[in-house]
Structure 1
Amino acid sequence: MKNKDDRKGNVAKLRKRAEEVFRRKEAQSPKTGPAQKPGEVRRTLQELSVHQIELEMQNDELCRAQAELDSARARYFELYDLAPVGYLVVSEKGLILEANLTAAALLGAVRGTLAKRPFTRFISREDQDSYYLHRKLLFRIGAPQVCELRLLKKDGTIFWARLEATVAQDADGAPVCRVAISDISERKKAEAALRASEERYSAVANNSNDAICILDTRGRFQWVNERMLELGGHSREEYSAADSFLKFIAPESLEAVKANFGKFVSGLTFEPRLGFSVIRADGQKRLCESYSTGFRDKQGRLNLVVTISDITDQQRLEAQLRQSQKMETVGLLAGGIAHDFNNILTAIKCYAEFVQKDLPEKDPKLKDTWEILNSVDRAIVLTRQLLAFSRRQIMALQVVDINGLIGNMTNMLRRIIGEEAKLETRLFAAPCQALVDPGQMEQVIMNLAVNARDAMPGGGVITLATSIVNPPEEFFALRPELARGPLVCLKISDTGCGIAPENKARIFEPFFTSKAQGKGTGLGLSTVFGIIKQSKGEIEVESEPGKGTAFKIYLPFVEGAVNKDKDKDKDKEALVKSHETVLLVEDEESLRRLGERILRGAGYKPLVAMDGASALKLMEERGEPVDLLLTDVVMPGMSGRELARELARRKLAGRVLYMSGYTEEAIVKHGVLETGIAFIYKPFTVDAVTRKVREVLDGPAEAAKA
């Protein structure tokens, strides 16, 4: 009704406007023809003219309205059909009711074919459930919903799309879903590429051997890699919650690190490389070296990326190398001195024995000879300690159960350490077998037990513990000379005064001692060190002042039967007089004279030469073989081994007895005699050398080869 009244009002207005136009035209037009027309005709003409004008105006209005409608249709086409996103109207049942051209193009279909088709036909199988939940939530809540899923074109091509949906009503009031579809394939590709790049960066950063972190200008952690978590022993959350990285720095490094970071924050030149110590979560201190560089993030904020290397183990290995080189140098010196001393001591001991045998039983000078021999014996012990330190002893290696060795020594150790100290043993349940010289291993245990006793003047507890361990690869990386595999661990600990830090690095050096004057020679621990090293083991010390000391010895565990101690040869009542010919080769003149006298006194026929060349010449002139070659190993020019082989080749010596003051690679490999080698160690006694010569001559030839 209202629309009808509006139309009547518009017609009246139009009529009125037409009449006004007619009157203006009539007033302007010249009056021609008759002055007056008949009234009826005049009124008719007037009505027709007004009506004509009215029609013209209506036509103008219609043309203008048509132009506006065409413009609106063009705008609608551009805004809807040619929109940069696709638009769909979908029924509550999921059928497509309407689609713009962009939606049809996105789906690869003709728009006319989309009507009444289920929208789910264009959704990939993997995302059907996601779309179902999206649509269900939309109609249940009524609020706009957004989801991202994969759509299928008509030809099967898949692309990523973003759906933005709202609920509306159609002309009949039924609920429908209006959906805007955006192709986000390129964005998804960029996101995937970014993720791949981040994953690659993360993989590189997290698999780096170095710890990496990013700090802001307040010193707060922005990011840490996996190695950083391992280095500090803290979780990622602990780093993120920390108000400053400085809380993880060791006190002795704090001032330098804080000052350097302050320079970075202030824009001053800072030190990119810095050494410092950190405190791990477990309280352990690690020595580190860092390289830092500043950068600005996307928001323009200044950050510092820090790469941290844990150099604790490297520093330890370098210190071990320096110590090993120093010990090797000192060892060479000690070994050389011991070799010369052994030659001198051999002469002193044997000549003192000659004097002793020649003196009457009641002669007061016998006491003097005993003093000489006792002093020589002490000097021999000293040189053997030097040789042990320099790893130039000859070792009689056997498979020994360390548990059994300790068990056999327990009573003796208790007597030695006295009543003030308590001795405890904690032996592993299974045999702890190692390839060692049992006599030297006893000396190791004895020396360490005596040291432990001396560290507890007021009494305490000495503990001997054994175990079989299977250390990880990192353990062997720090001890490159130790054979990989199971190890026998012997731990000798005390509750004494401990070792001062400044002395800890020097305790294995020969003649170094922290004991009072006259209380020690400084060779006990150096002897232990040399024996363990020559046994292919490692020895380490853990100690703090006031908290006692623990020595840990690691030896390669070996399988096989344990060697039983054999009864030592008993001295014979009298030496058997001999008659064989012996070629003695010795470059020390005093020892040549001594050896000749001993051999002759035992009934042998000695031939004497000062070196290999003169020995060969002597044998060539003799023209027949000798029964035994008794030769020093180390001589100028031709060595004793070379001489023996040459005489054997010429069939001029069937048996060989070597003598030396320390090990030589000519006859000894890593401190162990080659099989079939006969050897006597300097310094020896008169009886010892005569018995050994007799033993070699009476034994099989293959046990005294060249």
Structure 2
Amino acid sequence: MKDDATEPDAPPNAAPPPEGTAGRPYGDRGAPLVELRNRAERQVELESDVILEKSPIHLEDVRTMFRELRVHQIQLEMQNEELLRAKQEIEDSRARYLDLYDLAPVAYLTLDRSGKIIEANLTAARLLLEDRETLVDRSFASFVAPGDRETWIGERGEIFEGSGRRTFELELVRADGAALPVRGHAVLAGDDEGGPLARVVVSDISEQKRAERERAHLEERLRQVAKADSLGRMAGALAHRFNNLLAVTTGNLQMAMEDLPDASETRDAVSDALAAARDAAEVSGMLLTYLGQSRDERAPHDLSELCRRLLPMLRAGLPRNVELEERFPDRGPNVLVSPAQIQRVLTHLVNNASEAFDGSGGLIRIHVDTVSPEDIPVRSRFPASWTPDEGPHARIAVEDEGPGIPDDVVEQIFDPFFSTKAFGRGLGLSVALGAVRAQEGAIAARRSPKGGSLMEVYLPTRGVVTAETQWTPEGGSATDRREGRGTVLIVEDEPLLRKVGIKMLTRLGYETISAADGVEAVEVFRNNRDRISWVLCDLVMPRMNGWDTLAMLRSLDPDLPVVLTSGFDEAHAMGIEARENPHAFLPKPWTLERLAGVAPTA
């Protein structure tokens, strides 16, 4: 037996001590463990004395006991290592959680009952452009836009006093003053020492709101397109019907007036009635212009020069207390337009601006420049289906200092017969839009920076070269009346209109034969082809329309002059591809001068 002071040999199969722990009980785990070791050793010494007094200890027992103790020591050290690994894993997991918490795509906030922010992640700080430290202990309401604070107070009450779960939308104000639309999801969590807490997830919905606005704008544009299409069909049908009726009225009034003595009071009355009927025909013509289908010839023009030539006429139509100020470039931009249509556009826009002053007088500014497609406004732009071409566009801006366009009517101001004025006809802006549409352009209407109305006409400039086209503003001109010879076949399904047509052609010196529709006209022509010099044929008829009638008549006589006539304007009536082209087109209502003007010469 070895000396008691000598440490017994380790069992042959005993595990070596953990690396770095030789000569040191439990390695480097600090003073508390050393103290614990010392206390254990003292307790063992006391117990050993008692055991030795009761019974002797054999060497083999000591070795067995030492081995068991050594195994237990290593087991404890392995358990300690497992605990250390578990602790590290927990710390790593906590770090990952904190990364997920701080770097999440949404803001996480913990609020107390008063709405004070207890905790916030980094995303919340970035969302509000604040340091995280400055968020804590601040009231969440301080970030809510003033208009939504009452809503937030109600939502907070529902979270803490009601269901404990809420989804809400608010507008927050960031540190830079910018508005931030958000959606929040709140859940009531457990209590802390200060009372219940709420976990709130806040998401930035700026892109969603922008997409909703764009979708609403697109839907509004589609509604505008559908409305314009519906209004266009209605305007065309009304104009066609009224022009047929007005043709009867004006034709009879013109012939009656010519039969009356010059100094007759009755002649004056008939003359006034004829003037009123022609004014009515002008209104009907405005409806057709609104459709935007013009056959006016378009040619390259210097837009600034066109506007300069119109200034005297525009100023002459203004009240004395309304001034017109212009600003044009020396040259250009060059556009492909009908000068007569540009005249109509400016006349109606300037008149509309003048009426905005309501008799008080003021200043109207008109200027011409060039803009890029990106600078053309999308909202309140008409027609809604129009999109700008690539490249620069010419702009005519007409600005007044009146009360401006109310936001709730801006989508209606180009509708036929819509007017904010008690005695307005409501057709001026409709006609201007139709004329611009015929030039492949658009009009934008908005409030000007100075508070009045700003009307902007945009016209494409693509591929337009400089042209020295001469043009003089339109004025009234009468057509010389020629004496007619021969026989005219008049084809018209409206009895009154057929009757007045026969009278007017007879007044011009022609003999007439009539037919009520195309089928009858073909039969009449077969029986009278040697007598008939030319044909005046309506376009819209039952059984056989004007185009089919024209084709059938030309199949019988390829050289037969046929004049087509309609209550629709020429662009609407002639805007189709046909096998045969007419000799001319005559719009209704007729006048003796117009009838004489379209008649073929021998």
TM-score (norm 1): 0.59
Partner residue, 1:255: 150
Q: Which of residues 304, 311, 321 is equivalent to 2:201?
A: 304
1:503 is displaced (CA, Å) by 3.9
Q: Rg: which structure is higher?
A: 1
How far off its partner does 1:408 sit? 1.1
**Alignment CA distance shift 1:607-1:254 (3 Å):** farther
Report the counterpart of residue 691 of structure 1 in structure 2. Answer: 597
For residues 78-129 of structure 1, give each alpha carbon's deviation from its aligned partner in whole angstroms, at most 9, with x where no partner exists. 759xxxxxxxxxxxxxxxxxxxxxxxxxxxxxxxxxxxxxxxxxxxxxxxxx
> What is the percentage of aligned positions where both structures have the same residue?
24
Contact kept, 8 Å, 2:292 with 2:436, in 1: the verdict is no
**1:386 is aligned to 2:287:** yes
The amino acid of 1:470's aligned partner reads S
**Which of the numbers 485, 496, 504 marks the counterpart of 1:579?**
485
Equivalent position to 1:370, from 262, 271, 293: 271
- Between the aligned partners of 1:554 and 1:270, the Cα distance in structure 2 is 53
What is the correspondence of 1:412-491 to structure 2 with a 5 Å cutoff?
412-428=313-329, 431-456=332-357, 457-472=359-374, 480-485=385-390, 486-491=392-397
CA distance in 2, matches of 1:657, 1:483: 38
**1:258 and 1:642, CA in 2 relative to 1: closer, same or farther beyond 3 A?**
farther
State whether residues 362 and 401 of structure 2, in contact with CA within 8 Å, keep that contact through their aligned partners in structure 1. Answer: yes
SS of match in other structure, 2:458: strand
Aligned partners of 1:534, 1:271: CA distance in 2, in Å? 55
1:502 Cα deviation from its structure 2 partner:
4.0
What does residue 639 of structure 1 align with?
545
Q: TM-score, normalised by structure 2?
A: 0.69
Q: Which moved more, 1:379-388 or 1:526-535?
A: 526-535
- Residues 83-122 of structure 1 correspond to what in structure 2 (within 5 A)? none
Secondary structure of the corresponding residue to residue 346 of structure 1: helix
8 Å contact 2:486–2:531 — kept in the other structure?
A: no
* Equivalent position to 2:512, from 578, 581, 606: 606
Show CA shifts across 1:648-703 (max 9, x none): 344455333222222488754499xx998732222231111211223xx57xxxxx
Contact between 1:584 and 1:609, CA under 8 Å: does it hold in 2?
yes
Following the alignment from structure 1 to structure 2, what is the Cα–Cα distance between the partners of residues 284 and 489? 33
Does the CA-based 8 Å contact 1:534-1:670 persist in structure 2? Answer: no
Preserved CA contact (<8 Å) 1:624 1:652 = no
**Structure 1 Cα separation of the partners of residues 524 and 306 of structure 2:** 50
Task: Answer yes or no: is the 8 Å Cα contact 1:393–1:662 preserved in 2.
Answer: no
> How far 1:573 moved relative to its partner?
9.5
**Looking at both structures, which has the greater relative contact order when contacts are Cα pairs under 8 Å and sequence separation is at least 6?**
2
Q: Kindly indicate whether the alpha-carbon contact (under 8 Å) linking 1:496 and 1:547 is maintained by their aligned counterparts in 2.
A: yes
Deviation for aligned residue 1:527? 2.5
Which residue does the alignment assign to 1:511?
417
Match of 2:425 among 521, 525, 545: 521
Residue in structure 1 matching 2:464, options 560, 565, 568: 560
> In the alignment, is residue 537 of structure 1 matched against residue 441 of structure 2?
yes
Of 315, 338, 343, the match for 2:216: 315
Residue 641 of structure 1: how far off its partner (Å): 1.6
Matches within 5 A, 1:155-234: 217=111, 222=121
Q: What is the deviation of 1:581?
A: 4.5
Unmatched tracts of structure 2, length 5 or more: 23-88
Aligned to 2:86: none
Aligned-pair CA distance for 1:493? 0.8
Distance of 1:668 and 1:595 partners within structure 2: 21
Counterpart selection for 2:565 from 631, 655, 659: 659
| C-alpha deviation, 1:632, in angstroms | 1.7
Shift of residue 371 of structure 1?
Answer: 0.6
Matched, 1:628 2:534: yes
CA root-mean-square deviation? 4.8
The residue identity in structure 1 corresponding to 2:430 is S
Question: Match for 1:588 among 494, 500, 509?
Answer: 494
Secondary structure at 1:431 match in 2: coil
Q: Does 1:74 align with 2:16?
A: yes
Q: Aligned residue for 1:93?
A: none
Letter in 2 for 1:259: G
The answer for unaligned runs of 5 or more in structure 1 is 1-55, 81-186, 206-211, 699-706
- Distance in structure 2 (CA, Å) of the matches to 1:665 and 1:574: 25
Cα distance between partner residues in 1 of 2:461 and 2:505: 44
Q: 1:342 to 1:572 in 2, by over 3 A?
A: closer
Q: Which residue of 2 aligns with 1:410?
A: 311
Q: 1:401 offset after TM fit, Å?
A: 3.5
Per the alignment, in what secondary structure is the counterpart of residue 654 of structure 1? Answer: coil
Letter in 2 for 1:542: R
Give the residue type in structure 1 aligned to 2:432. Answer: V
* Aligned with residue 548 of structure 1, among 439, 443, 452: 452
